[in-house]
Amino acid sequence: MTATDTHCPYCALQCGMTLTPQVPGVKLEPRDFPVNKGGLCAKGFTAADLLDHRDRLLTPLVRKGNGLREATWDEALDRIVEAITHSQSRYGRDSVGAFGGGGLTNEKAYALGKFVRVSLKSASIDYNGRFCMSSAATAANRSLGVDRGLPFPLEDVAQAKTVLLVGANPADAMPPSMQYLDAGRENGARHIVVDPRRTNTAAGAHLHLQPLPGTDLALANGLLHIAVREGYVDEDYVRERTTGFEAVRTATNSYWPERVERMTGVPETRLRETVRLLATQGPAMILTARGAEQHSNGTDTAQAYLNLALALGLVGKPFSGYGTITGQGNGQGGREHGQKADQLPGYRKLDDPAARAHVAEVWGIDPDELPGPGQSAYEMLDQLGEKVRVLMVLASNIAVSAPNSNRVLRKLKDLDFLVVSDIFLSETAELADVVLPTAQWAEEEGTMTNLEGRVIRRKRALPPPPDVRTDLEVLAELSRRLGREESSDPRTVFEELRRASAGGIADYAGITYERIEAEDGVFWPCPAEDHPGTPRLFADGFPTPSGKARMIPVVHRDPAEMPDRQFPYVLTTGRNMQQYQSGNQTRRVKALTVALPEPRAELHPDLARRHGIADGDLVELRSRRGAAVLRARLSDGIRPDTVFAPFHWPGANALTNPALDPHSRMPAFKACAVAISCLKDG
């Protein structure tokens, strides 16, 4: 049996592992790859369970009345093509759309964007990364001229002497990454965690700041205010490497510490200590994640932390800077290659004439044939059955993961035709007219781009089951039936992706499968095969027109929904260590469900006492949009005005607010108003 070096199917760390087929099953062993250095979390260790899982989809399914029945590929594909042609002839090209995912390989993300814009000639495409990274990406693009989650290798984190983690919980989300924080701490580094809960990450930190969800921007502006007043601003850096500081300084004038303490609940002494550490115990870095970004002001919140990092002169210096911790397996690559509503491969803008001309030439079409930007993820879902009438969903379980999920479920049912490609019958697939069984991570070739911007190879360790196809094969076959030939070979698609991305922000032109293999991954931008790749960005300037980073003034806005008498608490959602995303895969892994059989609503004992709730009671959470029943877990590590619910099961997103950030179109997952009551009979 041949051993194959590959990577974990789940999160953006993309830990290295080795798979060896055996009888029965597959042996999975951790591998000494630069990011995980031999470590794996429980999800990674148990990932081989997915490969021969009894729930695996092994043949296409088509709708028959209220159920689904087995079908041949020909019948399933015929039905899809018939639905596409009928809808487009009756309602126009944009009536057929696709919803992609940040778990798709680079090749698939690229092929899906091309399929929609060239074979379908439709503008209707977006993906679940809109619900994940879009706020930080928008802020980084407009401020630094480029969005690469971490603009430095993860190993730099171990060298930083102060790390401010905002809304990030790597101890639960990606445990092997903690070795870098732990190494830093052993060398005297101080870590400050901003989170309304005392997470496992916060528990080990030097300082834990517990702001009210939705006030992270005010906190950042308050920190910058203190930095200005106490003379910590790096004036030389600001003058030489940034623009816009005066406007930012003016915007933070009114964020005096006493006011910020009132707004956020974080004591002034902790604010001052945070600034002192960031400014005087360097090198220092600021890392944000979804807790800060998934808000109706998420872009401005990420910008506020960028402003702070720039004012302190952190960005572009060794073991220092600003970064955002990408979550999904290919959250980074998934947003670079054209499955986003407004983007073309190479992180090019779809409304940029030069970008359109370049990509159209690679695709062999006239630039005028390319559709314009489409709608963002939630906006598209909100109009299913109206503007979009046929939807193809790949690698996404929107029935569970989209905000305001009750409405999204209704809208999915309003569609004329729903196609879902997946490895399991997800909650979304259950609603489909056609379900396509697709190959999974260890059964196909492809590349992923991890949270550091390191392009890595996922390799095929075993063949897919006989009647299962890869997403690339499905897209190529649908294209052929619609009149256009496309390759289904990952290597051929990657070669085309290299040409399409050449000269763009995310330039893969110099990256080959062989180099990835030989060099343990290659960091973009890498414009030529003799270019070493770029592990660290910004050492010599920023890819903005002026070469300087833009500081942009931002001010606090209350969350789109505030607590009131009817809904007196703030709900915030997040992750558990044992689960990944909507749980479509990890909820089927026995060892993970034994460790955590059900979701728990975390609440403070004071709040619980007010409502007669004991640990383990079933509670009902209600928002203006829906209700969810969960078992209570009491913890004095959460704010007494806040309730936490994990999003890996159906329920939490029935409550969440789809109010969108005006810049990134990110929904407000991390703060909405809820009421709670105890279901004693549970």
Binding site for ligand SF4 (CB under 6 A): 8, 10-11, 13-15, 36, 40-41, 43-44, 174-176
Closer to ligand SF4 by CB, 424 or 580: give it: 580
> Do the beta carbons of residue 12 and residue 334 sit within 8 Å?
no
Taking the complex as a whole, the smallest distance from the CB of residue 586 to ligand SF4 amounts, in Å, to 9
Q: Identity (one letter) of the amino acid at 430?
A: E
Which residues pair with residue 437 across a beta bridge?
A: 422
- Unique residue bearing structure tokens 């949270």: 451
Burial class (CB in 10 A: 0-12, 13-18, 19+), 20: middle
Taking the complex as a whole, the smallest distance from the CB of residue 128 to ligand SF4 amounts, in Å, to 17
Tell me how far apart the alpha carbons of residues 584 and 582 are, in angstroms, rounded to a whole number: 6
Residue of minimal CB distance from ligand SF4? 44
Taking the complex as a whole, the smallest distance from the CB of residue 328 to ligand SF4 amounts, in Å, to 10
Q: Is the omega angle on the peptide bond into residue 283 within 30 degrees of 0, that is, cis?
A: yes
For 262, phi then psi, to 5°, come to: -65, -40
Q: Identity (one letter) of the amino acid at 111?
A: A
Closer to ligand SF4 by CB, 59 or 593: give it: 593
Taking the complex as a whole, the smallest distance from the CB of residue 9 to ligand SF4 amounts, in Å, to 7
Taking the complex as a whole, the smallest distance from the CB of residue 45 to ligand SF4 amounts, in Å, to 7
Taking the complex as a whole, the smallest distance from the CB of residue 15 to ligand SF4 amounts, in Å, to 3
For 636, phi then psi, to 5°, come to: -80, 10
Taking the complex as a whole, the smallest distance from the CB of residue 178 to ligand SF4 amounts, in Å, to 10
Closer to ligand SF4 by CB, 14 or 501: give it: 14
Closer to ligand SF4 by CB, 11 or 431: give it: 11
Taking the complex as a whole, the smallest distance from the CB of residue 36 to ligand SF4 amounts, in Å, to 6
For the chain, counts of helices (H) and of strands (E)? 25, 30
DSSP string over 214-241: T-HHHHHHHHHHHHHHTT-S-HHHHHHH
Taking the complex as a whole, the smallest distance from the CB of residue 537 to ligand SF4 amounts, in Å, to 23
Closer to ligand SF4 by CB, 33 or 417: give it: 33
DSSP string over 607-656: HHHHTT--TT-EEEEE-SS-EEEEEEEE-TTB-TTEEEEESSSTTHHHH-
Taking the complex as a whole, the smallest distance from the CB of residue 659 to ligand SF4 amounts, in Å, to 30
Closer to ligand SF4 by CB, 9 or 527: give it: 9
Which of these, 261, 310, 256, lies nearest to 284 by C-alpha position? 310
Taking the complex as a whole, the smallest distance from the CB of residue 670 to ligand SF4 amounts, in Å, to 21
C-alpha torsion sign, points 166, 171, 177, 183:
positive
CA count, 13 A, side-chain hemisphere, 657: 24
Taking the complex as a whole, the smallest distance from the CB of residue 516 to ligand SF4 amounts, in Å, to 17
For 645, phi then psi, to 5°, come to: -135, 135
Strands 446-449 and 162-166: unpaired
- Unique residue bearing structure tokens 């709730």: 613
Closer to ligand SF4 by CB, 10 or 232: give it: 10
Q: Where are the alpha helices (DSSP H) in 154-215?
A: 155-159, 170-173, 178-186, 200-203
Tell me how far apart the alpha carbons of residues 417 and 585 are, in angstroms, rounded to a whole number: 25
Tell me how far apart the alpha carbons of residues 673 and 502 are, in angstroms, rounded to a whole number: 46
Taking the complex as a whole, the smallest distance from the CB of residue 443 to ligand SF4 amounts, in Å, to 17
Closer to ligand SF4 by CB, 446 or 553: give it: 446
Closer to ligand SF4 by CB, 14 or 199: give it: 14
CA count, 13 A, side-chain hemisphere, 191: 26
Angle between helices 268-280 and 257-264 (to 10 degrees): 110
Q: Identity (one letter) of the amino acid at 328?
A: Q
Closer to ligand SF4 by CB, 32 or 386: give it: 32
Taking the complex as a whole, the smallest distance from the CB of residue 368 to ligand SF4 amounts, in Å, to 42
Tell me how far apart the alpha carbons of residues 283 and 234 are, in angstroms, rounded to a whole number: 13
Closer to ligand SF4 by CB, 100 or 170: give it: 170
Q: For residue 334, give the DSSP letter.
A: G
Closer to ligand SF4 by CB, 15 or 392: give it: 15
Closer to ligand SF4 by CB, 168 or 226: give it: 168
Provide the 3-class DSSP secondary structure of residue 157: helix
Tell me how far apart the alpha carbons of residues 193 and 210 are, in angstroms, rounded to a whole number: 8
Which of these, 436, 438, 475, 396, lies nearest to 68 by C-alpha position? 436
Taking the complex as a whole, the smallest distance from the CB of residue 175 to ligand SF4 amounts, in Å, to 6
Tell me how far apart the alpha carbons of residues 105 and 98 are, in angstroms, rounded to a whole number: 16
> Do the beta carbons of residue 591 and residue 665 sit within 8 Å?
no
Closer to ligand SF4 by CB, 297 or 401: give it: 401
Tell me how far apart the alpha carbons of residues 591 and 44 are, in angstroms, rounded to a whole number: 12
Provide the 3-class DSSP secondary structure of residue 468: coil
Closer to ligand SF4 by CB, 172 or 216: give it: 172
Closer to ligand SF4 by CB, 36 or 470: give it: 36
CA 195 to chain centre: 18
Taking the complex as a whole, the smallest distance from the CB of residue 345 to ligand SF4 amounts, in Å, to 25
Tell me how far apart the alpha carbons of residues 577 and 589 are, in angstroms, rounded to a whole number: 13
Taking the complex as a whole, the smallest distance from the CB of residue 40 to ligand SF4 amounts, in Å, to 4
Closer to ligand SF4 by CB, 200 or 281: give it: 200
Please state, as a whole number, how many other Cβ atoms lie within 10 Å of the Cβ of residue 67: 8
